[in-house]
Structure 1
């Protein structure tokens, strides 16, 4: 029962009820119907104060749900730098991959979360990890991005961190070639060989 109370409190962002449930012995790694832990629920909803309580109590930032998503991976999707900073002291695997082989850096690059990309790089995330589609964070930012300023900033950050602009995708196309094909001229200029 306490486990259900913890999951409900986390989902609603009720830090007081979360603290109570944890103090009364609720299991930090309890699961909802989709296999999500309290910390995963907090990360997905960006309940930073709740996540801080859970991390302080020892919650696992790498506990996967039924799809293999983890609290740490979810931060790459949401782009929450505050949540990233809450989870770092828990020692997440910075390069943990989701069911598609993507890391937080690839997930954030795909969505144009420049501030998050900066923070993940500063934390030590691998810049040239390749997902199951053969894409790095740099390629993903170009292929999935719209060429806007936020994607340009992601490209700048990744290049400054040592991303290999010559790394091709499965079809042999580089990020530069994708940028040219999409007519993202500002990004193509950043990537020009």
Structure 2
């Protein structure tokens, strides 16, 4: 028969077990703490209720502004001679169609509007030659879209001459004037006709210019319009494009 002390000890143990069960969290089981049905799931981020960070971020104008400030600060830290060397390196990289190097030099403070001895800038040369990756980098870095080359022409005029269709789209979208007249007295439309073969790329150049509001009635130094020159050179497709505009 159990003694009085043993009974008392057993009663105290049962009371203590009951108190512990009452104080335990509702979602904790006796099987090691796994969540009970309906309890909160563990957070994968390590902080309960906070979703995991996204692996991608959305670019913003603030990021672009910060990049511009960083470039300005980098340039301000350079001595004048260092700036001049950096700018010429940038122009050479643009002429080599080296976007990675161009990006690097812009980040170091290179000026996309600085010109070399023949009045080419990184922006003007990239536009003239259809180096579109370089061109986009210079535009993002603040290229002056109205700047002109040694012939007094914008980047758009030689792009039209060469029939760089995608380049023309980029430059028009950037706001390069479509009716600018260079020192030879020619617009982009006139150069697309006078200095090439009148083929499909020049035809598309004329279409893009007309769609952007270019005036085919601007005359060259001989008093001829773009339509006059298209007819005179036998570029019948370009003449039709202008006539039906």
Aligned residue for 1:168? 219
For 2:93 and 2:126, the matched residues in 1 are separated by 10
Residue 184 in 1 paired to residue 229 in 2? no
Give TM-score scaled by structure 1 length.
0.81
RMSD: 1.8
Segments of 5+ residues of structure 2 without an aligned counterpart are 1-77
Instruction: Give 1:29 shift.
Output: 2.9
Aligned residue for 1:140? 191
For 1:153 and 1:27, the matched residues in 2 are separated by 43
Residue 27 in 1 paired to residue 74 in 2? no
Aligned residue for 1:3? none
Given that 1:58 and 1:90 are in contact with CA atoms closer than 8 Å, whether structure 2 keeps it comes out as no
Instruction: Give 1:58 shift.
Output: 1.7
Instruction: Give 1:28 shift.
Output: 4.6
Given that 1:29 and 1:60 are in contact with CA atoms closer than 8 Å, whether structure 2 keeps it comes out as no
Residue 111 in 1 paired to residue 166 in 2? no
Instruction: Give 1:78 shift.
Output: 1.4
Give TM-score scaled by structure 2 length.
0.64
Structure number with higher relative contact order (C-alpha < 8 Å, ≥ 6 residues apart): 1
Segments of 5+ residues of structure 1 without an aligned counterpart are 1-24
Task: Please say which structure displays the higher CA radius of gyration.
Answer: 2
Instruction: Give 1:42 shift.
Output: 0.9
